[in-house]
Amino acid sequence: MTRLYDSFQPNLYKVYLDIDRGSKIITGQTKISGLAKSTQIAVNQKFLKVSDVLVDDKRVPFTSDDEEEIISLELPQTGETTLTIDYTAPLTDSMMGIYPSYYQVDGQKKQLIGTQFETTAARQAFPCVDEPEAKANFDLAIKFDEKPGETVIANMPEVEVSDGVHYFDRTVKMSTYLIAFAFGEMESKFTTTKSGVKIGVFSTKAHDQKELDFPLDIAKRSIEFYEDFYQTPYPLPHSWQLALPDFSAGAMENWGLVTYREAYLVLDPDNTSLEKKELVATVIAHELAHQWFGDLVTMKWWDDLWLNESFANMMEYVAVDALEPDWHIWELFQTSEASAALQRDATDGVQSVHVQVEKPAEIDAIFDSAIVYAKGSRMLVMVRSLIGDDALRKGLKAYFEAHHYGNASGSDLWDALGQAAGIDLAKIMNTWLEQPGYPVVKASVVDGKLTLSQQQFFIGEGKDVGRLWQIPLNGNYDAVPQIMADREIVLGNYNELCQQAGAPFRLNVGNESHFIVKYDEALLNDILDNSDTLDPISQLQLLQDLRLLAEGRQISYSSVVPLLGRFANSKSNVVNAALYQVAGNLKKFVAPDSTEENDLRKLFDKLSAEQVKRLGWTPKYNESIDDQLTRPYVLNAALYAKNKDSITEAHSLFESNKENLVALPADIRVYVLANEVQNYSSLELLKKLFNDYTQTSDGSYKSDISLALPMTPDKDLLAKIVDQYENSEVIKPQDLRAWYRGVLANDNGQQLAWDWIRNDWQWLEDTVGGDMEFSTFITVTSGIFKTPQRLDEFKKFFEPKINTPGLTREIQMDTKVIESRVSLIEDEKEAVNKAVSLFVFNN
Ligand SMILES: [Zn+2]
């Protein structure tokens, strides 16, 4: 594949933009100086109306190719060249390129202009060689229909304003996709790091000043942490964090000006759940990890996207664990990243972490959060545990020194880290990086000998092509080698090994390697008999591996059901997370309003009743972090169980806070609302919650409403919710997926939501089709469907779309996901429901 950078290598851009919000027109001029290696060159553009192209001040003919997103021209000679390109462009509501965000302050409609250039949208703002390798310096100059009280910010500090044009300091050498700026009325707060980097948080004035405190503190301490951990100074004078009301992704690591969804940055420090605070802290730490990993050193091409994302996704936990050790943030890694990666990576056809891509739509499609983020970070956690923090830091320092202001590929990272640790890391890691999927390691006693074997693990139909991995085993017996590279190994006489160790045999202790274990019956019973002595992560792992093995048809779900009771009174939030994930997976086996569903509700009641009594509905002052994080799981279970006391208690909490629902304790608010909507539904309640939804600036309250409201059993009200899907004044496109999923997951609403997406697919594609979240509407659909009829409808609707750029893999995988669920239910529902009813009878 030839890239534009091969024939033209820019070193300096002078970008001038005049943005008129009134007419929604951008008028621009871009001067690009660089080295032409060929006389035939091209630069990227998308939606630009180019009027003139000058080569070294002489007008030249050019051709625009909208399909290839380029303009091409011929130069008189190769060598140093300056292009001057004049153009206009539309300011569109696509959440890509330069775009407006809409919000209200005291009922007044306002706009904040911001940017989103990753992956290939810088070309919508100015012509450029829009490839990560094409690093250059940028002089940014911005003019806009400015009003008093408005601010404009960018990657670098402003150095001059003249004739209404804001000039920004020249950037360091950087990739085009990391350029950013924003303007409008903004609230802000500042501080400075120990090393003198200016830290700022910006939001619209719809937010209270105090909502900026938490992110400011986390951002400051994150930068300080990374400067120390990477042993490399933060390379820019400032680090701005900006919350944008309309934002397609979660956040974006633009160098020096990171942009976020409002819900992932600003929060009410006095009433936000710990869970949300942890989430916001990890998002900030993730983006700031990128300021080095991704921004200072950038992947050469998008196939190495994992270099950016997998790494930042590990570092967010490393950093937050250092900033807030009491949170035990690695537990969140186990319940979210590990579990997401193990689920998705088990479907045949999944992408590998390192994946070949060329076209823009393909590039957007590789941002598979469970793979490039979750599995990739798990891979690096394996590396970290193999080489240790000292070698990790030493290797990183060398990596930054060798590639700063430049680009790197995966092998550069393995070289740097491997050299620091003195091992051949690439040999081990390439088996994880280049191959999709992961192994199940079977541990069994054969003829008295403890034997291990590896084989790819699938949920659903999978074609075994004999893949092998180099597996860090982390066994608790001395006879276990550090790495298992062969298909099968024999460890020795089991009885002797067991006696020596004095404990049941276990692999993957700490759950840091990306594989699951299937113990034979005797070994498993040995572990289960001693499960009380296991630490919480090991208990989570036990439940999680059993659930996956059941999903993969290697054991029956009915054999897992009887085990649930022994974990029900755990005080650990991770054990409860795993427990209710298993229990939640039993819901697919029951039909609405059936005896089986009734039994399952009773099972949930038996699991949760004691815990609800112990923890209560209202958070207590000074309670443990585990209690704070466990309460949501058990309250949710109690509501599914239709526990009468819980329904009454939640209702009375609602009644006494009716006038100011946002003031309900944030940890339990969503359950209070869910209870009200499920058991006391009315049109009045719907109107009230929709009204609060559009008025509040509290992101977590908004998200509570979007989760709770679609739970109403009332079909008329559900139809009213679906009616708002395309009304961006109520539901912003960035938030639509949650509303769609909510109604689709509701037995009384599924038909409505499913009809909507099929009828209005074109609207959806026009509205969010340009960004990387689009395909996840298909993912959430496949996460819910479970009947042969829905499977048929799904295929009928999506199969004709299979060649849509960026959707092919998703449609193939999601079809498989529904197929395997349908057949699992068909084969096992009888046995599972029998086990549930026995559980209820016996407990
Ligand atoms: Zn990232």
The pLDDT tens digits for 536-552 are 999 999 999 999 999 99
361 alpha carbon to ligand 1 midpoint, in Å?
18
Distance CA 84, CA 33 (A): 9
**Residue 459 in tokens:** 């949920």
Distance CA 432, CA 143 (A): 48
372 alpha carbon to ligand 1 midpoint, in Å?
10
774 alpha carbon to ligand 1 midpoint, in Å?
18
560 alpha carbon to ligand 1 midpoint, in Å?
36
Q: What is the reported pLDDT for 94?
A: 87
Burial call 339-358: b when 16+ CB within 10 Å, e when fewer:
bbbbbbbbbbbbbbbbbebe
The letter for the amino acid at 303 is D
In the chain, which stretches have pLDDT less than 50?
A: none
Residue 586: how many other CB atoms lie within 10 Å: 24
Distance CA 313, CA 290 (A): 9
DSSP at 170: P
Could you give phi then psi for residue 9, rounded to 5 degrees? Answer: -120, 95
250 alpha carbon to ligand 1 midpoint, in Å?
9
* Inter-CA distances, 286 with 223, 304, 672, 772, Å: 11, 18, 32, 18
255 alpha carbon to ligand 1 midpoint, in Å?
12
Distance CA 547, CA 568 (A): 16
Using the structure block, give the residue that is written with the tokens 């058991």.
679
Q: What is the reported pLDDT for 574?
A: 97
Most distant CA atoms of the chain, gap in Å: 88
Task: Supply the residues annotated as catalytic.
Answer: 287
- In the chain, % helix, strand, coil (3-state, to 5) comes to 50, 20, 30
Is 341 in contact with 442 (CB distance < 8 Å)? no
Nearest to 536 by CA among 438, 602, 629: 629
Residue 610: how many other CB atoms lie within 10 Å: 12
837 alpha carbon to ligand 1 midpoint, in Å?
45
The residue count of the chain comes to 843
Residue 325: how many other CB atoms lie within 10 Å: 9
As residues whose CB is below 5 A from the ion ligand 1, the structure lists 309, 312
Burial label, 465 (beta-carbon count in 10 A; 0-12, 13-18, 19+): exposed
310 alpha carbon to ligand 1 midpoint, in Å?
8
DSSP at 174: B
273 alpha carbon to ligand 1 midpoint, in Å?
24
Q: Which residues contact 614 (CB under 8 A, 6 or more apart)?
A: none
**Residue 238 in tokens:** 């400032």
Q: Residue 44: beta bridge partners?
A: 70, 128
Is 352 in contact with 435 (CB distance < 8 Å)? yes
pTM: 0.97
65 alpha carbon to ligand 1 midpoint, in Å?
31
Q: Is the peptide bond before 119 cis (omega within 30 degrees of 0)?
A: yes
Q: What is the reported pLDDT for 365?
A: 84
